[in-house]
Structure 1
């Protein structure tokens, strides 16, 4: 299976339509609510597909239609225990038996090779998410137009090849397809969402290692405008009320500096040692300038039982004190072992015992990782008899994708996303023996001071480079004309400024 770096699926070579032999079964899942006429039109288009009919299953998830929808040749399942698009999609995919789930809206008209265009990618890559080319029309037979946001995004990212971590934003339920195994690894559809369930699912598929492929040959036409086209501001007002909680990647929705969010942006993993040492690490992680960080403290918590004991001579005293301290802190969780993944959280920082983060350390590491969409950032902290002691900032999506291939995880992550080593002292790491002072405002100003210091160092380095260049030019001029010139004055000015 070909390895795709970031989202650059250009290394894949899909076969020409009509010139290959399909093998995978696909379940076309259609949520439906009081749309019998539109559904029959969509079914007619499905019946005319070039993809082998014996490999196609149609599942209609009826979300309480009155009267219930009927569709010969399809399996109709009723949505129970909930309602709305999320519940319908989840009900449909749970009932599906195909190796690929193809989401389809009920008011779509498909080109005859629509399914085939989608499916050829899934035969190449088991973690592809294929996005159809949808045009909106007022009536069947029109050419239609592509949504402006979609058009601009595709043009500015080389058809999502350069989209970095944001490719999932074009994921839509109108016509997308995904391997059933990848969908279930990502957690399926959030049945509680009635809108934006496709965006939220796209985000979790990205964390599961998905590659998003928009295919202009997977043509389809949506009859009538979308809800976003008709009521864009109201849709955003509705969806942004909950997407900030679920999709930490949407940073503009997380402007509040003190709020607790359901899905953190970074999860810091700390192994419990002494009460004082562990507390210093946890408190520093929670007090940084990145407000949506959470901490997992790893230890044998199951040994903390309720029998009578000596309060001060308890052999598990340090462990018990830590549990007391953070039992009611919503951003701290307790685990018996280190998590393999932080999904759906996009970053996981593994912090060695005895080390603490500076005020802006976590935010700075994330910024550095995002500059080149790195999969792993290793921070060298010290060296002991066992080797280099390092903290690791792991990108969830990178390690999820690497897990699909055989080989050392770090080597695969380097190939698929990139790995960088940095020095801990340059990024504000310290030891628990001398923990930094905590506090919201103090943390903010300390981080600002650290950034300004780094900027001043860079400016001084620039002055030195310019001074050297000007001095070189001055020497060259003096060899031609020994009389004093403006370059000499410029050199003196630059030296005094440095």
Structure 2
């Protein structure tokens, strides 16, 4: 091992927070340039690092292990886990700190990486593909950032090796002599990736394009963040990048952490994952506790018919009926019966803390109905302004504090981790990502405390529901429906999306409850049938309230 110099100085980039709590220095969006980590060799590491190396065939695993054997990171804090496919040859002496797990031949890179990250025991995960050669300071250079902030995703400077060492022993000698950069060369392995880094100041000025610079073949991330964002299942490289980004990670390329590719590993931008099931773009949350059936339908049907078709809706209420009256429980059962067939709707007991894994979280009071284009305009304004929260401010509200907010999940997750005691969440989000306010024009929102406004019904989606149940909710008489009520659209395969990592980001239940709409004793069933028939007659008798044109003001 190379000698390691120790210092008792605190890592840079740590700020004293209000109330005496220490916290990481706040970073605006992805601008990491204000962070100043210690130089390699001039600080004292305390977190353990597990380097997960995937070797699936054809790569020079011996070169990678030789480079890892001479790392400056303290040996008692560094271990190496090799996920090797059956048939991949291992070095005769891989090293005392090297553990090998075999997987069947033909195992994909995503599955191998998922297995390695599940088995790793370190505080920091350092991911490498076999065939990558790293310099002696590689693990330490990555780890210094993760000691400063727990939400970093550090990306190595991936280069192409000009000449590949013939013997693994030559790699160790080269590393110890300090001549690795001169011997291996310094040309970038991926021209598109290098162009993206150059255009965005090494991602400091990047928006969602930062995901495209991610490479699983040479990166590092805190274990807790990785597991919260990615879960235990295999993820394609592009999906993994998206989920880490949405979870609020700081994407940080470090030119002082070179990794030389001896083959094709790590030389391309992440490709779109085939057959990937994407979460809804917007996760809307509506607390319907205490609201009657017609108000809920007036709110939710407008939401599902909004200009943003890629949406999921969480209806928050006491679905078990433990804290509500019998009449209120009946209203909830009616709501469940109306939306059980719609895979976009989930029934949850508590609101999620963020929209993860969806990029946006919409907080909508049940007393407001959105006009058709409002949601699309909110998301468009959030994208154009790169805002962490967009607030739709009405001139007057039907209930106190009944505002509409669209949160960027990435900004919200970071603010929840960093806000100080007593600090308003919206203020924390504004500091890390920015805030945008819109004055609601006439017709932008519909006040559902007006009984006439609650008669809106969308053209129903009744996949797998019998004709008798359709008729019970007035589904056959389309002629009475407002021209503004557009058909619901559903992406094929779109179902309740439960993101891994809800332990960190979403404190509520996963919402996949399907309580029987007609369960309970005979009296409840009788009440249910009578109320359902009444709702059907009301739905057929009343047309939808026509929304006035939108008028937005800065």
TM-score, scaled relative to structure 1: 0.76
- Which aligned pairs between 1:68-217 and structure 2 lie closer than 5 A? 71-73=94-96, 74-79=98-103, 83-137=107-161, 139-140=163-164, 141-143=183-185, 144-188=187-231, 190-191=233-234, 193=235, 197-217=236-256
- Which aligned pairs between 1:63-462 and structure 2 lie closer than 5 A? 63-65=85-87, 71-73=94-96, 74-79=98-103, 83-137=107-161, 139-140=163-164, 141-143=183-185, 144-188=187-231, 190-191=233-234, 193=235, 197-226=236-265, 236=271, 239-243=272-276, 245-246=277-278, 263-272=279-288, 273-303=291-321, 316-381=329-394, 383=396, 387-405=400-418, 406-407=420-421, 408=423, 409-425=425-441, 428-432=444-448, 433-434=452-453, 435=456, 437-440=484-487
Deviations 1:323-378 (A, max 9, x none): 11110101111111212222101111111112111221111111111223211122
The 3-state SS of whatever aligns with 1:242 is coil
Task: Report the CA distance between 1:440 and its aligned residue.
Answer: 4.9
Alignment RMSD (CA, Å): 3.1
State the alpha-carbon separation in 2 of the partners of residues 361 and 23 from structure 1: 50
Is the contact made by 1:269 and 1:338 (CA closer than 8 Å) also made in structure 2? yes
Could you say if the C-alpha distance between residues 387 and 301 of structure 1 is closer, same or farther in structure 2, counting changes exceeding 3 Å? Answer: closer
Is the contact made by 1:380 and 1:388 (CA closer than 8 Å) also made in structure 2? no
1:44 aligns with 2:87: no
Task: Report the CA distance between 1:8 and its aligned residue.
Answer: 0.3
The 3-state SS of whatever aligns with 2:216 is coil
Is the contact made by 2:67 and 2:133 (CA closer than 8 Å) also made in structure 1? yes
Deviations 1:63-101 (A, max 9, x none): 444667873330112348993222211211122121110
Deviations 1:358-402 (A, max 9, x none): 221111111111223211122223546974420111111112111
Is the contact made by 2:87 and 2:105 (CA closer than 8 Å) also made in structure 1? no
TM-score, scaled relative to structure 2: 0.69
Is the contact made by 1:402 and 1:416 (CA closer than 8 Å) also made in structure 2? yes
Is the contact made by 2:62 and 2:91 (CA closer than 8 Å) also made in structure 1? no
Deviations 1:438-478 (A, max 9, x none): 1159xxxxxxx968x87xx99xxxxxxxxxxxxxxxxxxxx
Task: Report the CA distance between 1:287 and its aligned residue.
Answer: 1.3
State the alpha-carbon separation in 1 of the partners of residues 355 and 85 from structure 2: 33
Return the structure number with greater relative CO, CA threshold 8 A, min gap 6. 2
Which runs of 5 or more structure 2 residues have no equivalent in the other structure? 1-23, 165-182, 457-481, 489-547
